[in-house]
């Protein structure tokens, strides 16, 4: 197999109090069948054997569903392949000898932890503000007591496919979280179960989003382009609609 070599330029940062710098690392003999993260594993294993600090980066499922991996690759969150997370990006998409720049998500709401790892709990707090339907365990009626139009269910699903990775924020010039918030609001707005709380939910989530320090939406559509689940900015329109509807609340 033809193995390849790369130059990595990586954002290193010890912790949130320390300044960051770009580290240059040469890597050799990388198989095109490796994923980008597996390439980083190789680098890290080597760094550990020579007692250097390995590159901190986040991953868990490594199949594009948990949303843990979060790297800006050559200026594009999750890299240039559409609909792909960093963990699913394979080295066959990089030319031999290429320089690959790896940076963390940058946003004031995402506090640096180390190297490529940032704190995304702001997302959790937005969800805690209202991203749920209030139903206690055991109190639900039979699932078939409520008919839901297939289209509505499908649209709710499309929005619910969000993996909460934060690429939308990372890619947005305003570090706006509207796609992320819109996805949840849209999911629940399409379903009759979500109706009773829709106004409260929208208000609470929008206010929390603002409090966390995310920017506003300039509708540049960058988020939709980098979203690994290809969630449409339609959910932002829906969020806007839910917001406008909730004004007289």
State in angstroms the smallest separation of the CB of 226 from other proteins: 7
38 vs 31: CA distance, rounded Å: 10
Interaction between residue 142 and other proteins (CB under 8 A)? yes
**Binding flags for ligand HEM, 97-126, as an x/- string (CB under 6 A):** ------------------------------
241 binds, among other proteins, ligand FES, ligand HEM, none (CB under 5 to 8 A by kind): other proteins
Interaction between residue 201 and other proteins (CB under 8 A)? no
31 or 240: whose CB is closer to ligand HEM? 240
Find the binder of ligand HEM among 219, 230, 237, 245 (CB under 6 A).
219
Copy the structure tokens of residue 17: 């109090």
State in angstroms the smallest separation of the CB of 191 from other proteins: 5
How far, rounded to the nearest angstrom, does the alpha carbon of residue 49 sit from its chain's CA centroid? 32
Interaction between residue 41 and other proteins (CB under 8 A)? yes
Binding region for ligand FES (CB under 6 A): 59-62, 64-69, 85-87
85 vs 35: CA distance, rounded Å: 11
Contact at 8 Å (CB) between 205 and 129?
yes
**Binding span for ligand HEM by CB under 6 A among 66-74, 84-92, 196-204, 211-219:** 211-219
Contact at 8 Å (CB) between 117 and 68?
no
153 vs 148: CA distance, rounded Å: 7
81 vs 148: CA distance, rounded Å: 35
Copy the structure tokens of residue 51: 């007692």
Find the binder of other proteins among 23, 27, 98, 240 (CB under 8 A).
240
Residue (of 90, 79, 80) closest to 37 by Cα position: 90
Binding site for ligand HEM (CB under 6 A): 216, 218-219
């Amino acid at each position: 197999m033809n193995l390849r070599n790369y130059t990595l330029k990586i954002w290193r940062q010890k912790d949130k109090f320390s300044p960051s710098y770009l580290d240059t690392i040469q890597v050799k003999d990388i198989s095109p069948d490796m994923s980008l993260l597996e390439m980083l594993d190789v680098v890290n294993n080597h760094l550990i054997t020579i007692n250097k600090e390995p590159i901190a980066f986040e991953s868990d499922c490594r199949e594009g569903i948990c949303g843990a991996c979060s790297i800006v690759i050559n200026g594009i969150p999750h890299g240039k392949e559409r609909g792909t997370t960093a963990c699913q990006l394979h080295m066959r998409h990089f030319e031999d000898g290429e320089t690959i720049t790896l940076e963390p998500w940058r946003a004031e709401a995402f506090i640096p932890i180390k190297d490529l790892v940032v704190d995304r709990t702001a997302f959790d707090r937005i969800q805690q503000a209202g991203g749920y339907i209030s139903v206690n365990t055991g109190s639900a009626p039979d699932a078939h007591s409520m008919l839901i139009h297939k289209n509505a269910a499908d649209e709710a699903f499309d929005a619910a496919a969000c993996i909460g990775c934060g690429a939308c924020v990372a890619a947005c010039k305003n570090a706006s979280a509207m796609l992320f918030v819109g996805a949840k609001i849209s999911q629940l707005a399409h379903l009759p179960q979500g109706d009773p709380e829709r106004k409260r939910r929208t208000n609470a989530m929008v206010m929390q989003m603002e409090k966390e320090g995310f920017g506003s939406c300039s509708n540049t559509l960058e988020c939709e382009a980098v979203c690994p689940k290809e969630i449409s900015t339609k959910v932002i329109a829906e969020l806007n609609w839910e917001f406008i509807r909730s004004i007289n609340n």
